[in-house]
Structure 1
Amino acid sequence: MGKGSLDGAVVAVAGAAGPAGRAALLKLAEAGAVVVAADADVARLAEAVDAARYAHGGATVTGETVDLLDLEATRAWADSTEKEFGRIDGLVHLVGGWRGSASFVETDLRDWSKLEKLLIRTVQHTSLAFHDGLLRSDRGRYVLISAAGASKPTAGNAAYAASKAAAEAWTLALGDAFRKAGGEDGPRAAATVLVIKALVHEAMRAERPNAKFSGFTDVSELAEAITGVWTKSPAEVNGKRLWLTSAP
């Protein structure tokens, strides 16, 4: 099996029903992976899974509603996936959410409570649940999608930026665990952070045909970057932030 090949790889995608998730499912299936998708929105998840199956006849793409705020449910998802397919080679974390305010002092701490669950707790649970399985793989990857705002927070985005920064730190800690597990031979698995400014997709462009979306990453480009993490050795991407927009 060639370096970086996704043929036969089993990749789980958390938060798979949104535009970025749909693009990722398509690209992973196209690259030959068995794709195991999860989302809280049953109807949108079914649509995303069907679209990926239809686009790539013969591809194995499954969908499951998993409560990623429940650690045991997340562990059960990881365990059942590895048991069913015999391996687990990746977890792509696309669970998103945004809350902001007009100014720093107008920050609503209820936004923090919401974002802490969506952007941090789901990272904690998926990383803990998939850690062992990814280490058992010969090409395990944990991929977090983050935002440039985590490194350069703005006044009205305090809760969002702090949540993203915490998620990045947690993922880099997972990378350190992979580094230590690899010993002198270097890491066998990798935890990687892909950093964007914001995402754009076809529906957004249709709604705002005159908008420039400067510095935004198209969801198809993000999907390419996600699959590209498997084309590099674990040592090249483990514990790294890979910037898809200009670093601040």
Structure 2
Amino acid sequence: MSQTKLHLRDKGPVSSAPGFTFEHYDSIGSTNSYGIDLARQGHPGHLWLRAEEQTEGRGRRGRAWTSDRGNLFASVLLRFDKLDETAVQFPFVAALSLADAVEKACGVTHLVELKWPNDLLINGAKISGILLESESHSSYGFYLVCGFGVNVVHHPDLGLYKTTDLRSLGFQCNADLLFLKLAESFEHWLGTWSKPNGFDVVRKAWLERAIGVGEQIRVRLTREEFSGRFVDIDHFGRLILKMDSGETRLVSAGDVFFS
């Protein structure tokens, strides 16, 4: 994707997160895809990419993501000299950051619940999507691109699960305000996670928002579906399930459903 073909609306330092810069486009294929392109070019990172609309928005597992104007579409590009297996903890950093941002933008506390690993729910309905991708380069290092899509003024009817948007729930925040709150809270939780034993703090905060802990849930994988009691998440963010047989099963990725 070539930046010269894009209409750049604005760029500069992020006022709410001084350690980051941003580029804001009118329309883009995918903020995540553009972030990957920049990573392959050796970008120094700590960059937010925003768009008023995406023409090729993507969700997890290659699913399409509806990207109409008025909602928030933003990806953050991070560069690391090296990154170990703790990268799998990052979805929880992202989920906490967005949950805090939504509540601050709406002016309400205890509004957002989290569904493993990084879905945000309000009154049981999904309001957002988070997509994490990586890129490594022998010369430039290791990159993470984390994309956030939030239903601010409208939402798709997906059929698989309930969805909603902030306007339908009566909140008057807009994508610009939500972005500033997201950048601010993301800088905070990124700093927390980066400290020694930082994921212990992240994990505790995530579990305080989590739904389904201690309950029977269904997990759907590509070729398998099973049920168990949601016990905890481990230090790698894996779902810990207690099966009916008494055995413990760890789940690294999958779709979770509640009875």
- TM-based fold match above 0.5: no
Structure holding more helix per residue: 1
Q: Name the TM-score, length of structure 2 as normaliser.
A: 0.31
**Greater RCO (Cα-Cα under 8 Å, separation 6 or more):** 1
Structure holding more strand per residue: 2
